[in-house]
Structure 1
Amino acid sequence: MSDADADGATEAETDTDTEVAESTAGRTEVWIEKYRPEYLDEIKGHENIVPRLQRYVEQDDLPHLMFAGPAGTGKTTAAQAIAREVYDDDWRENFLELNASDQRGIDVVRDRIKDFARASFGGYDHRIIFLDEADALTSDAQSALRRTMEQFSNNTRFILSCNYSSQIIDPIQSRCAVFRFTQLTETAIEAQVREIAADQDIEVTDDGVDALVYAADGDMRKAINALQAAAVMGETVDEETVFAITATARPEEVEEMVEQAIAGDFTAARASLEDLLTDRGLAGGDVIDQLHRSAWEFDIPEQETVRLLERLGEVDFRITEGANERLQLEAMLASLALENQ
């Protein structure tokens, strides 16, 4: 190759590298990944869990673990943080993550998990297999997993993540140290939201933060996603923007609908419900969820609150069984209105 050709090739490579760098710089990062804690001491809101996990790592005595709890509370983050603490820069080579809801058959347990558990590795006593959404595994797959956990316990540690530990068979639960992740506190979510807003140079009003915390309902992932979406809409993230982005009704709007029904004005209550479902775009499940969360905060007599919760339970069950959500919600409001006429 001539010097001219070499210079031309070098310039072309430089131009390409510049284009790639500019393209990468222009991409919008996903904040839930950018701000995901990398180590255990960075995890917020689980002061009763993190020290115990750190103790396992420090003592180099990691048992099989089970993380149970709602979505967005840090189960996957904790599993990855443990891998980083144990393996440092080699964590990706020694950490296998599988999503059981996608790969839920017995063949996954027999093949992929066994192949990884048998693979050779150096410098470490064991490898970690993280099985996310393990409660989606079939009964046969869980039975196969139990046997696999026994067979490879000398060089493999399992971390299982699930929403409902009751869906995991007892033989597996008894082999794991179970950690129950509760919904994150409002303080923990607010601290993370303000920290991200400061890092991104976003102006967030106090009522905007309160709205993000309310809409998240203990789910850190939901709060961060909502913050990122709201930040695109304008220079300031306020209450109005957050509620519009998250398709969430203000607590006072839900309370007004209930008060109208309790006052015997079914027509007004039905109009309020219509506004929430049609104009605001809420799903019936969202309305039930917000009613349940705010029931004890409504300025209504305790007896009426109890009656509301009773109706909510019945409606939620019927919708889960496939009933029409609009019809069921209207029937609930009609029932509350009839009792107070």
Structure 2
Amino acid sequence: MAANFFQVKPSAKKAGKEKERVVDPNLQPWVEKYRPKTIDDVSSQEHIVAVLEKTLSSTNLPHMLFYGPPGTGKTSTILALSRQLFGPDNFRTRVLELNASDERGISIVREKIKNFARQTPRAQAVASDGKSYPCPPYKIIILDEADSMTQDAQAALRRIMETYARITRFCLVCNYVTRIIEPLASRCSKFRFKPLDSSSTTTRLEHIATEEKVAVTPPVISTLISTSSGDLRRAITYLQSAARLSAASNPVAPITSRDIQEIAGVVPDSIVNKFAKTLGIDIPDAVDEYGDVEMADVGKTSNNTLRGFDLIREEVRGLMREGYSASQILTQLHDLVILHQTLTARQKSSCALVMAEADKALCDGADEELWILEVALRVNKAVNS
């Protein structure tokens, strides 16, 4: 009796396991929660979606190579296509997804990939959700971040792709197509994923904000797009972080553009503009989303008698004390100078030259404050010459 007292009934064990498998949607990252379920849900890749829809109807899938910037939907597209081909029941047995940045050696190609590729797919089972799926007689191997694979591993993959092409199709996903060896790239149909345009990103972010009941203003959406540089995954992550930060305050604070910039590690525009104006660059006063003039205190310091070198040095020290990244300051100052309306081409080229020198020095481990000061002084000299 004592032994039986501590035993758990099989049904209770099974119920516990089933309970563990249930994932609360509220605890999911929004990137996964709103990942496209079908290829029709993929944003801003109309040409690729049109081609894949025809492939889906014929079920004759070639080896594929998806390449383009991060966060443009490459992995989401092939996962959605695989689910539409095989359905939820056969997805696990028919699709092998590997991240080549972790598993990129030749041993993985010879063992894991080859063993999966040589297995003949089982007969189609009846879908549990009541829907019918094409379920073609082959499997799919997805190699994410394939540009991280070694040259030997890529070379070993060539023969496997040819030998088992009848029962296994490959999809290579990468950011830099030039890092894929030519014999491997020539065996695949290439699909280039372009950076997402502003309208598609805006529509997607507004949809997620509405579903999550998060109030966002057009300036916040604009800041999300500019800080993410066409990377929708990064923009969604920033939005979720900002929503959590807003909900944590009491009372709930509205999400501002400044919040997004702080989360993204970007130097706020008002601070960059103030620094640029100190260097002699003409910056008009900007009005923020609440109607306040951001530039009212530009050029002022605790000591109003500072001029020239002393004023610039004080501004640089202030930036460094705030802990802002020197490379981020350079990036934003560079964009501001190059896109400036009144600076001449000669002035812009002089500024760009010193910023290039500073970037190289910072990559080599030089002192950040000294090089930001060097950039500031030479930009000041260039714009006032």
TM-score (norm 1): 0.85
Equivalent positions of 1:84-99 (< 5 A) are: 84-89=83-88, 90-99=90-99
Aligned residue in 2 for 1:159: 171
Aligned residue in 2 for 1:125: 137
- Pair 1:241-2:241 in alignment: no
5+ residue gaps, structure 1? none
1:271 deviates by: 4.7
Aligned residue in 2 for 1:185: 197
Aligned residue in 2 for 1:174: 186
- Pair 1:41-2:40 in alignment: yes
1:74 deviates by: 0.9
Aligned residue in 1 for 2:149: 137
Aligned residue in 2 for 1:253: 271
Distance 1:47 1:292 in 2: 33
The one-letter amino acid paired with 1:146 is R
Distance 1:85 1:271 in 2: 60
RMSD of aligned residue pairs (Cα, Å): 3.2
Distance 1:94 1:218 in 2: 32
Distance 2:342 2:50 in 1: 42
Alignment match of 2:238 (pick from 223, 226, 231): 226
Shifted more, 45-54 versus 244-253: the winner is 244-253
Equivalent positions of 1:304-319 (< 5 A) are: 304-319=347-362
Residues 132, 162 of structure 1: 8 Å contact kept: yes
Distance 1:186 1:275 in 2: 34
Aligned residue in 1 for 2:293: none
Distance 2:114 2:280 in 1: 59
Counterpart of 1:128 in 2: which secondary structure?
strand
1:114 deviates by: 0.3
Counterpart of 2:62 in 1: which secondary structure?
coil
Q: Sequence identity of aligned pairs in percent?
A: 32
Distance 1:271 1:180 in 2: 47
1:42 deviates by: 0.2
Distance 1:254 1:208 in 2: 18
Distance 1:232 1:111, change over 3 A: same
Distance 1:67 1:247, change over 3 A: same
Distance 2:309 2:112 in 1: 57
CA deviations on 1:58-111 (whole Å, 9 max, x unpaired) are 222211111111211111111111111211222232111111111121111111
Distance 2:85 2:121 in 1: 14
The one-letter amino acid paired with 2:186 is S
Distance 1:208 1:118, change over 3 A: same
Residues 106, 150 of structure 2: 8 Å contact kept: yes
The one-letter amino acid paired with 1:81 is A
The one-letter amino acid paired with 2:165 is S
Shifted more, 120-129 versus 306-315: the winner is 306-315
CA deviations on 1:164-213 (whole Å, 9 max, x unpaired) are 11111111111111122222112122111110111011111222212211
CA deviations on 1:13-51 (whole Å, 9 max, x unpaired) are 59x87xx69x96596221100001111100112122221
- Pair 1:297-2:332 in alignment: no
Distance 1:282 1:224 in 2: 23
1:139 deviates by: 1.1
- Pair 1:286-2:328 in alignment: yes
Q: Which has the larger helix fraction?
A: 1
**Residues paired across the two proteins, number:** 332
Distance 1:338 1:295, change over 3 A: closer
Aligned residue in 1 for 2:290: none
Distance 1:316 1:93 in 2: 49
The one-letter amino acid paired with 2:254 is T
Distance 1:182 1:26 in 2: 30
- Pair 1:330-2:342 in alignment: no
Residues 259, 300 of structure 1: 8 Å contact kept: no
- Pair 1:56-2:55 in alignment: yes
Distance 2:339 2:272 in 1: 11
Distance 1:76 1:298 in 2: 37
Counterpart of 1:48 in 2: which secondary structure?
helix
Shifted more, 233-242 versus 219-228: the winner is 233-242
Distance 2:175 2:368 in 1: 25
The one-letter amino acid paired with 1:332 is V
Distance 2:364 2:48 in 1: 36
Distance 1:329 1:213 in 2: 27
Counterpart of 1:159 in 2: which secondary structure?
strand
Distance 1:329 1:135, change over 3 A: farther
Distance 1:60 1:136, change over 3 A: same
Distance 1:167 1:51 in 2: 27
Distance 1:143 1:328, change over 3 A: farther
Distance 2:313 2:57 in 1: 58
The one-letter amino acid paired with 1:106 is I
Shifted more, 253-262 versus 77-86: the winner is 253-262
1:277 deviates by: 4.8
The one-letter amino acid paired with 2:91 is W
